[in-house]
Structure 1
Amino acid sequence: MTLPYAIMIFITLQRISELIIAQSNTKALLARGAVEFGRSHYPVMVLMHASWLAVLWAMVGGAPVNMALLAVFAVLQAMRVWVLATLGRRWTTRIIVPKDEAPISSGPFRIMRHPNYFVVICEIAVVPLMFGLVWVAALYSVLNAAMLWVRIRAENAAYSPA
């Protein structure tokens, strides 16, 4: 197995496991009375991320791997783990607002308001660039920026006092 495919297997398995965890957390949060926001844009976000993965799978082949960007990717994974560990059972891929609970303000949330989005922004660019796929990094960075414009507005509105 080549390094590009090993990286893609890692990313794919990571995303699948995150979806399983997110689904479990979402069910638990909703059962406790939490409310979902931004439901209408969620399928578009999933399609964008799935197509990013599909394009990468189709394009990486025997591409050389930029080892400096692989190191950046490794740091991003550590940041991702920090975000998920900080959010714990509140982490989900949807915008789920628990009843009577303030937004998390510890861990990476002390440093920035949306650290998971920062990680995703970086990954969407770094992973394709690691394989020399500049056009994939550019295209999906633009698509992700548009998605995050919608998503962050929905999330900020969901947590704003009524």
Structure 2
Amino acid sequence: MAAFTHDWWIAYWWYLALLAGAAAERFLELVISRRNLGWALAHGGREEGIGHFPAMVALHSALGVACVLEPLLAPRPFLPALGITAVVLVLASQALRYWCILTLGHRWNTRIVVVPGLPLVRRGPYRFLSHPNYVAVALEGIALPLVFTSWVTAVAFTVLNAVLLLRFRIPAEEAAMSRALAESRS
């Protein structure tokens, strides 16, 4: 167990600054999402898969809280090699997320909202992956806690994200897109 040394606290305060930046980024995403929701609804979009959205918000909020608390409740030494690698992965996940946001434009949302008649996007990261934003979320959910050796949070978020959310969200999103495409062909 790591002692709460002066160096540990300095590293922890830097970690809190990173977490604050991640929280600010999440807030910006919600602003973008709300704006895009208005655009989508004004263009005939409809929201689907509403039932799992509160669980997704709760899980993502819990990730932030757990990242703050685990180092205090189960202190481990800050490992620079792991921490620096994890910060690079956090930044990479943000870059991928904003590549998704820029590629989808008004169509990007934290909710499942499909505007009938619009074709599937096959450019940007969507050339390579069907759901690159979820890759960004998964990568961040692993890397953000590992910046400060919070492996319990990293494992718990990853498992809960995969089992409780992505298992439902990706099929709901796929079904919504399929329905919209079928409607536009009729």
Find the residue that maps to 1:36 and give its secondary structure: strand
1:24 maps to 2:42: no
Distance change in 2, residues 1:60/1:102 (3 Å): farther
Q: Is the 8 A contact 2:15 2:148 kept in 1?
A: yes
Larger Rg: 2
Letter in structure 2 aligned against 1:152: I
* Alignment length (residue pairs): 162
> SS at the partner of 2:23?
helix
Cα-to-partner distance string for 1:56-107 (whole Å, 9 max, x where unaligned): 1223469635112111222222111111110111111000001210121110
Q: CA RMSD of the aligned region, Å?
A: 1.6
In the alignment, the residues of structure 2 paired with residue 156 and residue 22 of structure 1 have an alpha-carbon distance, to the nearest angstrom, of 19
Please point out which of 93, 98, 105 is paired with 1:81: 98
Provide TM-score, normalisation by structure 1: 0.93
Q: CA deviation at 1:134?
A: 0.7
2:66 aligns with 55
| 2-structure distance, mates of 1:40, 1:72 | 30
Contiguous gaps of at least 5 residues in structure 1: none
1:115 partnered with 2:145: no
**C-alpha contact 2:114 2:177 (8 A) present in aligned 1:** yes
Return the offset for 1:33.
0.7
Instruction: Tell me if the contact between 2:70 and 2:153 (Cα under 8 Å) persists in the aligned partners.
Output: no
Structure 2 counterpart of 1:132? 149
| Deviation >4 Å, runs of 4+ | 60-63
Match for residue 5 of structure 2?
none
Provide structure 2 residue ranges, at least 5 long, that are not aligned to the other structure.
1-9
Equivalent position amino acid for 1:52 in 2: L
Q: What is residue 156 of structure 1 aligned with on the other side? A: 174
Q: Quick check: 1:4–1:60 contact (8 Å CA) kept in 2?
A: no
